[in-house]
Amino acid sequence: MILTVTLNTALDITYRVPALRPHASHRITQVTERPGGKGLNVARVLAALGHQVTVTGFTGGATGRIVQDQLAAVPGMVDALIPVSAATRRTIAVVDEGTGDTTQLNEPGPTIAPAEWSAFQEAYEDLLPSMAAVALCGSLPPGVPVGAYAGLVRLAKAAGVPVLLDTSGEPLRRGVAARPDLIKPNTEELAELTGSHEPLRATQDARRRGARSVVASLGTEGLLATTPEGRWRATPPARLHGNPTGAGDSVVAGLLSGLVDQLPWPDRLCRAVALSAATVLAPVAGEFDRAAYEELAGRVAVTGEVSAA
């Protein structure tokens, strides 16, 4: 079983329009809703790959009930979300069908009360012993301490559970100091953490700051991994056009899937890049195109070197 943590869950709503124009009215051609937030996106991809996944975090209000109702319909997924009094947020993705570009609108998260945060920590600690790996994903809602992820990393490590951290800003800086097994920043997040805009140097510095392994997302150029076992670069076969929402979360799912399947690093990176690319090509935010994934998996280029023993 894999555990994903989404402290700032959401209901992701995707609108498709023939063309998006500022200062104009638009006729929407299609509307879809999916449970969202980075950890829930990761969990959905993991479940689609055949893994058993438990999801936890916060849920509240009418929006939260919609999220939980839809999660209940996903095979292989266990709902361990903690109820709160404030309403779960919504995110809006507007897809321009003419260009394939997406405009994203994100509501703020609900304010979490101290008692609600305490209840979550107790539930999280109880879940850890039965987990093969845990992913801590996304932003912190108001009311959650900025050092929350650092504490959750320490609890996972104390339980002997490998932990992946995917966040940004001060929560990432504090979380790295708790020595997670893996972080997955993009280039902007990595530069903010380390002060370096050179990806290889920045990944090395992030390891010195506490992360055991670092996989940097380079956008359309793929992934760069710096680990105790070696360094690798994985690139997709071509530049893709589509909806990038959830592509980074698919990278996390691929890395976690590869970890629990005990794949070598090059194979983990290949899976992660193929899933990310297949997510860009999918018509709905947070989903991946399975046929595209299976076709792309054999075409991802992975280069690098193994560290000397």
Active site residues: 249
Angle at 139 between CA 138 and CA 145, to 5 degrees: 125
Q: d(Cα 309, Cα 95) in Å, to the nearest integer?
A: 49
- Which of 71, 78, 74, 80 has its CA nearest to residue 49? 74
Q: d(Cα 226, Cα 215) in Å, to the nearest integer?
A: 6
Q: d(Cα 163, Cα 260) in Å, to the nearest integer?
A: 11
Angle at 280 between CA 277 and CA 281, to 5 degrees: 90
Cα-Cα-Cα-Cα dihedral of 243, 287, 165, 153, to 10°?
Answer: 150
